[in-house]
Amino acid sequence: MQIKTVHDYQASPELLKNKVILVTGAGDGIGRQAALTFAEYGATVILLGRTVAKLEAVYDEIENAGGATPAIIPLDLKGATAQNYQDMAATIKDQFGRLDGLLHNAGILSILSPFNHIEEDDFRDSMQINVTGPMLMTQALLPIMQLADSASLVFTSSGVGRKGRAYWGSYSVSKFATEGMAQVIADEYSTTTIRTNVINPGATRTSMRSKAYPGEDPKALKTPLELMPTYLYLMGDESTKDNNICFDAQ
Ligand code: NAP
Protein backbone atom coordinates (compact mmCIF):
# COMPACT_ATOMS: atom_id res chain seq x y z
CA MET A 1 0.00 0.00 0.00
CA GLN A 2 1.27 3.48 -0.89
CA ILE A 3 1.99 5.74 2.10
CA LYS A 4 1.02 9.40 2.02
CA THR A 5 0.95 12.34 4.44
CA VAL A 6 -1.22 15.45 4.35
CA HIS A 7 -0.35 16.96 7.77
CA ASP A 8 -0.51 20.50 6.47
CA TYR A 9 -3.92 20.17 4.83
CA GLN A 10 -6.15 23.15 5.53
CA ALA A 11 -9.83 22.42 5.25
CA SER A 12 -12.35 25.01 4.14
CA PRO A 13 -14.92 25.75 6.87
CA GLU A 14 -17.76 24.02 5.02
CA LEU A 15 -15.75 21.04 3.77
CA LEU A 16 -18.19 18.46 5.14
CA LYS A 17 -21.46 20.34 4.76
CA ASN A 18 -24.35 17.96 3.89
CA LYS A 19 -22.23 14.89 4.55
CA VAL A 20 -23.41 12.10 6.84
CA ILE A 21 -20.45 10.46 8.56
CA LEU A 22 -20.40 7.54 11.00
CA VAL A 23 -17.56 7.40 13.54
CA THR A 24 -17.01 4.27 15.64
CA GLY A 25 -15.54 4.69 19.10
CA ALA A 26 -16.83 8.26 19.02
CA GLY A 27 -17.00 8.65 22.80
CA ASP A 28 -13.32 8.94 23.60
CA GLY A 29 -9.81 9.53 22.31
CA ILE A 30 -9.25 10.07 18.60
CA GLY A 31 -12.82 9.09 17.65
CA ARG A 32 -14.30 11.69 19.97
CA GLN A 33 -12.11 14.39 18.44
CA ALA A 34 -12.88 13.21 14.90
CA ALA A 35 -16.63 13.40 15.60
CA LEU A 36 -16.34 16.93 17.04
CA THR A 37 -14.15 18.06 14.14
CA PHE A 38 -16.35 16.56 11.41
CA ALA A 39 -19.36 18.31 12.99
CA GLU A 40 -17.42 21.59 13.19
CA TYR A 41 -16.80 21.37 9.43
CA GLY A 42 -20.48 20.83 8.69
CA ALA A 43 -21.12 17.08 8.82
CA THR A 44 -24.03 15.32 10.45
CA VAL A 45 -22.23 12.81 12.60
CA ILE A 46 -23.47 9.39 13.69
CA LEU A 47 -21.80 8.57 16.99
CA LEU A 48 -21.28 4.85 17.56
CA GLY A 49 -19.74 3.38 20.70
CA ARG A 50 -20.33 1.19 23.71
CA THR A 51 -20.51 3.74 26.57
CA VAL A 52 -23.70 5.74 26.12
CA ALA A 53 -22.78 8.45 28.65
CA LYS A 54 -19.63 9.29 26.66
CA LEU A 55 -21.58 9.42 23.39
CA GLU A 56 -24.15 11.71 25.01
CA ALA A 57 -21.40 14.06 26.18
CA VAL A 58 -20.06 14.31 22.60
CA TYR A 59 -23.62 14.82 21.33
CA ASP A 60 -24.07 17.73 23.77
CA GLU A 61 -20.72 19.27 22.80
CA ILE A 62 -21.70 19.21 19.12
CA GLU A 63 -25.13 20.73 19.80
CA ASN A 64 -23.68 23.40 22.10
CA ALA A 65 -21.17 24.36 19.40
CA GLY A 66 -24.04 24.84 16.91
CA GLY A 67 -23.32 21.72 14.83
CA ALA A 68 -25.92 19.67 12.97
CA THR A 69 -27.90 17.41 15.32
CA PRO A 70 -25.97 14.15 15.58
CA ALA A 71 -27.33 10.63 16.01
CA ILE A 72 -26.24 8.08 18.60
CA ILE A 73 -25.90 4.34 18.01
CA PRO A 74 -25.01 2.47 21.19
CA LEU A 75 -23.29 -0.74 20.11
CA ASP A 76 -20.65 -2.99 21.62
CA LEU A 77 -18.61 -4.43 18.74
CA LYS A 78 -17.72 -7.37 20.94
CA GLY A 79 -21.21 -8.85 20.95
CA ALA A 80 -22.78 -7.33 17.83
CA THR A 81 -24.12 -9.72 15.19
CA ALA A 82 -24.46 -9.39 11.42
CA GLN A 83 -28.19 -8.77 11.98
CA ASN A 84 -27.40 -5.85 14.35
CA TYR A 85 -25.34 -4.23 11.59
CA GLN A 86 -28.03 -4.85 8.96
CA ASP A 87 -30.63 -3.26 11.26
CA MET A 88 -28.32 -0.32 11.85
CA ALA A 89 -27.85 0.17 8.10
CA ALA A 90 -31.62 0.10 7.58
CA THR A 91 -32.10 2.76 10.29
CA ILE A 92 -29.43 5.02 8.77
CA LYS A 93 -31.00 4.60 5.32
CA ASP A 94 -34.43 5.51 6.70
CA GLN A 95 -33.15 8.53 8.57
CA PHE A 96 -30.50 9.92 6.20
CA GLY A 97 -30.96 8.14 2.85
CA ARG A 98 -27.25 7.37 2.42
CA LEU A 99 -23.86 7.36 4.13
CA ASP A 100 -21.02 9.60 2.88
CA GLY A 101 -18.29 8.56 5.29
CA LEU A 102 -17.39 5.73 7.64
CA LEU A 103 -14.48 6.04 10.05
CA HIS A 104 -13.60 2.70 11.62
CA ASN A 105 -11.82 3.99 14.70
CA ALA A 106 -13.01 1.90 17.69
CA GLY A 107 -10.44 -0.59 18.83
CA ILE A 108 -8.89 -2.32 21.81
CA LEU A 109 -5.23 -2.70 22.63
CA SER A 110 -5.46 -6.25 24.06
CA ILE A 111 -2.93 -7.61 26.50
CA LEU A 112 0.72 -6.95 25.65
CA SER A 113 2.59 -10.17 26.39
CA PRO A 114 5.11 -12.65 25.03
CA PHE A 115 3.61 -14.52 22.07
CA ASN A 116 3.49 -17.80 23.99
CA HIS A 117 1.39 -16.18 26.71
CA ILE A 118 -1.34 -14.81 24.43
CA GLU A 119 -4.63 -16.00 25.83
CA GLU A 120 -7.21 -17.35 23.43
CA ASP A 121 -9.98 -15.13 24.86
CA ASP A 122 -7.87 -12.00 24.49
CA PHE A 123 -6.94 -12.93 20.92
CA ARG A 124 -10.58 -13.63 20.07
CA ASP A 125 -11.75 -10.31 21.58
CA SER A 126 -9.13 -8.35 19.63
CA MET A 127 -10.10 -10.00 16.38
CA GLN A 128 -13.81 -9.57 17.12
CA ILE A 129 -13.62 -5.86 18.01
CA ASN A 130 -10.81 -4.77 15.69
CA VAL A 131 -11.55 -6.94 12.64
CA THR A 132 -14.78 -8.99 12.56
CA GLY A 133 -17.02 -6.17 13.81
CA PRO A 134 -15.68 -3.66 11.25
CA MET A 135 -15.95 -6.34 8.52
CA LEU A 136 -19.64 -7.04 9.26
CA MET A 137 -20.38 -3.34 9.66
CA THR A 138 -18.75 -2.56 6.32
CA GLN A 139 -20.70 -5.32 4.58
CA ALA A 140 -23.93 -3.83 5.91
CA LEU A 141 -23.06 -0.22 5.12
CA LEU A 142 -21.48 -0.50 1.65
CA PRO A 143 -24.89 -0.55 -0.10
CA ILE A 144 -25.90 2.78 1.50
CA MET A 145 -22.44 4.22 0.84
CA GLN A 146 -23.06 3.47 -2.84
CA LEU A 147 -26.07 5.80 -2.65
CA ALA A 148 -23.77 8.77 -1.91
CA ASP A 149 -22.26 10.84 -4.75
CA SER A 150 -18.88 9.81 -3.40
CA ALA A 151 -18.16 7.99 -0.16
CA SER A 152 -15.07 7.60 2.01
CA LEU A 153 -14.33 4.40 3.92
CA VAL A 154 -11.47 4.76 6.39
CA PHE A 155 -9.88 2.03 8.51
CA THR A 156 -7.58 2.74 11.45
CA SER A 157 -4.32 0.84 11.64
CA SER A 158 -1.09 1.28 13.58
CA GLY A 159 2.67 1.08 13.11
CA VAL A 160 2.44 -2.53 14.31
CA GLY A 161 -0.10 -3.20 11.54
CA ARG A 162 2.74 -2.88 9.04
CA LYS A 163 5.69 -4.26 10.96
CA GLY A 164 5.22 -6.83 13.70
CA ARG A 165 6.81 -6.06 17.04
CA ALA A 166 7.62 -8.36 19.97
CA TYR A 167 4.95 -8.49 22.69
CA TRP A 168 2.29 -6.66 20.63
CA GLY A 169 0.66 -10.05 19.82
CA SER A 170 -3.10 -9.87 19.31
CA TYR A 171 -3.22 -6.14 18.57
CA SER A 172 -0.52 -6.33 15.90
CA VAL A 173 -2.18 -9.31 14.20
CA SER A 174 -5.55 -7.52 14.23
CA LYS A 175 -4.07 -4.41 12.63
CA PHE A 176 -2.36 -6.44 9.87
CA ALA A 177 -5.80 -7.96 9.22
CA THR A 178 -7.31 -4.46 9.14
CA GLU A 179 -4.83 -3.35 6.48
CA GLY A 180 -5.51 -6.52 4.48
CA MET A 181 -9.27 -5.97 4.64
CA ALA A 182 -8.87 -2.35 3.52
CA GLN A 183 -6.74 -3.42 0.54
CA VAL A 184 -9.25 -6.07 -0.54
CA ILE A 185 -12.17 -3.62 -0.41
CA ALA A 186 -10.15 -0.83 -2.06
CA ASP A 187 -9.32 -3.13 -4.97
CA GLU A 188 -12.85 -4.52 -5.32
CA TYR A 189 -14.50 -1.09 -5.25
CA SER A 190 -11.81 0.76 -7.22
CA THR A 191 -14.15 1.45 -10.12
CA THR A 192 -16.99 2.71 -7.91
CA THR A 193 -17.63 5.99 -6.10
CA ILE A 194 -16.41 4.46 -2.82
CA ARG A 195 -12.78 5.04 -1.88
CA THR A 196 -11.07 3.01 0.83
CA ASN A 197 -8.01 4.16 2.72
CA VAL A 198 -6.18 3.52 5.98
CA ILE A 199 -5.06 5.93 8.66
CA ASN A 200 -2.16 5.31 11.01
CA PRO A 201 -2.60 7.87 13.80
CA GLY A 202 0.90 7.42 15.25
CA ALA A 203 1.63 7.88 18.96
CA THR A 204 -1.26 9.98 20.27
CA ARG A 205 -2.28 11.26 23.71
CA THR A 206 -5.18 8.95 24.58
CA SER A 207 -6.02 6.39 27.24
CA MET A 208 -5.07 3.55 24.88
CA ARG A 209 -1.58 4.97 24.48
CA SER A 210 -1.11 5.50 28.22
CA LYS A 211 -2.18 1.90 28.81
CA ALA A 212 0.52 0.71 26.40
CA TYR A 213 3.21 3.09 27.73
CA PRO A 214 2.30 3.90 31.37
CA GLY A 215 5.67 5.52 32.11
CA GLU A 216 5.57 7.95 29.20
CA ASP A 217 4.98 11.68 29.59
CA PRO A 218 1.68 12.29 27.75
CA LYS A 219 2.68 15.89 27.08
CA ALA A 220 5.39 14.60 24.73
CA LEU A 221 2.68 13.19 22.45
CA LYS A 222 0.51 14.79 19.80
CA THR A 223 -3.10 15.33 20.81
CA PRO A 224 -5.99 13.92 18.77
CA LEU A 225 -6.75 17.49 17.65
CA GLU A 226 -3.34 17.76 15.98
CA LEU A 227 -4.15 14.76 13.76
CA MET A 228 -7.35 16.22 12.38
CA PRO A 229 -6.02 17.66 9.09
CA THR A 230 -5.54 14.09 7.81
CA TYR A 231 -8.98 12.96 9.03
CA LEU A 232 -10.65 15.97 7.41
CA TYR A 233 -8.77 15.45 4.14
CA LEU A 234 -9.94 11.84 3.95
CA MET A 235 -13.60 12.69 4.58
CA GLY A 236 -13.70 15.69 2.24
CA ASP A 237 -14.05 15.69 -1.54
CA GLU A 238 -10.41 16.62 -2.14
CA SER A 239 -9.50 12.98 -1.43
CA THR A 240 -12.00 11.61 -3.95
CA LYS A 241 -9.21 10.26 -6.16
CA ASP A 242 -7.28 8.63 -3.30
CA ASN A 243 -7.86 4.90 -2.98
CA ASN A 244 -5.86 2.09 -1.37
CA ILE A 245 -3.48 4.50 0.37
CA CYS A 246 -2.21 4.46 3.94
CA PHE A 247 -2.10 7.92 5.47
CA ASP A 248 0.30 8.63 8.31
CA ALA A 249 -1.45 11.25 10.43
CA GLN A 250 1.87 12.41 11.93
P1 NAP B 1 -9.16 5.00 23.07
O2 NAP B 1 -8.91 6.32 23.66
O3 NAP B 1 -9.00 3.77 23.91
O4 NAP B 1 -10.61 5.01 22.41
C5 NAP B 1 -11.11 3.86 21.80
C6 NAP B 1 -12.58 4.04 21.50
O7 NAP B 1 -13.07 2.80 20.97
C8 NAP B 1 -13.39 4.35 22.75
O9 NAP B 1 -14.38 5.29 22.43
C10 NAP B 1 -13.99 3.01 23.09
O11 NAP B 1 -15.22 3.10 23.77
C12 NAP B 1 -14.22 2.41 21.71
N13 NAP B 1 -14.36 0.98 21.81
C14 NAP B 1 -13.48 0.10 22.34
N15 NAP B 1 -14.01 -1.12 22.33
C16 NAP B 1 -15.26 -1.03 21.78
C17 NAP B 1 -16.29 -1.94 21.55
N18 NAP B 1 -16.18 -3.22 21.90
N19 NAP B 1 -17.42 -1.50 20.96
C20 NAP B 1 -17.57 -0.20 20.65
N21 NAP B 1 -16.62 0.73 20.88
C22 NAP B 1 -15.48 0.31 21.44
O23 NAP B 1 -8.21 4.72 21.82
P24 NAP B 1 -7.53 5.74 20.78
O25 NAP B 1 -6.12 5.88 21.17
O26 NAP B 1 -8.39 6.92 20.56
O27 NAP B 1 -7.53 4.80 19.48
C28 NAP B 1 -8.39 5.00 18.38
C29 NAP B 1 -7.90 4.13 17.24
O30 NAP B 1 -6.57 4.52 16.88
C31 NAP B 1 -7.80 2.64 17.59
O32 NAP B 1 -8.20 1.87 16.48
C33 NAP B 1 -6.33 2.43 17.87
O34 NAP B 1 -5.93 1.10 17.66
C35 NAP B 1 -5.71 3.40 16.89
N36 NAP B 1 -4.34 3.86 17.24
C37 NAP B 1 -4.12 4.64 18.34
C38 NAP B 1 -2.83 5.07 18.64
C39 NAP B 1 -2.53 5.94 19.83
O40 NAP B 1 -1.34 6.21 20.08
N41 NAP B 1 -3.51 6.40 20.57
C42 NAP B 1 -1.77 4.70 17.79
C43 NAP B 1 -2.03 3.90 16.67
C44 NAP B 1 -3.33 3.49 16.40
P45 NAP B 1 -15.27 3.33 25.37
O46 NAP B 1 -14.80 4.74 25.57
O47 NAP B 1 -16.67 3.14 25.69
O48 NAP B 1 -14.33 2.35 25.97
Ligand 1 binding pocket includes 98 (Cβ within 6 Å):
no
What does the pLDDT read at residue 241?
97
Q: Give the residue numbers spanning the domain of 55.
A: 2-248
Instruction: State the average pLDDT over residues 48-52.
Output: 98
**Which atom, in ligand 1's list, is nearest to the CA of 106?**
7
Measured in Å, residue 78 CA sits from the centre of ligand 1 at: 13
Q: List phi, psi (to 5°) of 214.
A: -60, -25
Beta strand residue intervals within the chain, DSSP E: 2-4, 20-24, 44-49, 71-74, 101-104, 151-156, 194-200, 245-248
Q: Indicate which CATH number applies to the domain containing 166.
A: 3.40.50.720
171 in active site: yes
| pLDDT at 1 exceeding the cut of 80 | no
The active-site residue out of 171, 189, 231, 233 is: 171
Number of H helices and number of E strands within the chain? 8, 8
User: Would you say 232 and 41 are in contact if contact means Cβ atoms under 8 Å apart?
Assistant: yes
Q: Write the pLDDT tens digit of every residue in 55-94.
A: 999 999 999 999 999 999 999 999 999 999 999 999 999 9
Confirm or reject: Cβ of 76 under 6 Å from ligand 1.
yes
Q: Specify the pTM.
A: 0.99
Which of 24, 30, 226 is the pocket-test mutation for ligand 1 (most atoms within 8 Å of CB)?
Answer: 30
Q: How many domains does the chain have?
A: 1
- Give mean pLDDT, residues 98-112: 97
227 CB less than 6 Å from ligand 1?
Answer: no
Interatomic CA distance for residues 37 and 35, integer angstroms: 5
42 Cβ closer than 6 Å to some ligand 1 atom: no
**Ligand 1 pocket test target in 22, 24, 28, 198 with most atoms within 8 Å of CB:** 28
Contact (Cβ atoms closer than 8 angstroms) between residue 175 and residue 208:
no
Mean pLDDT over residues 18-45, rounded? 98
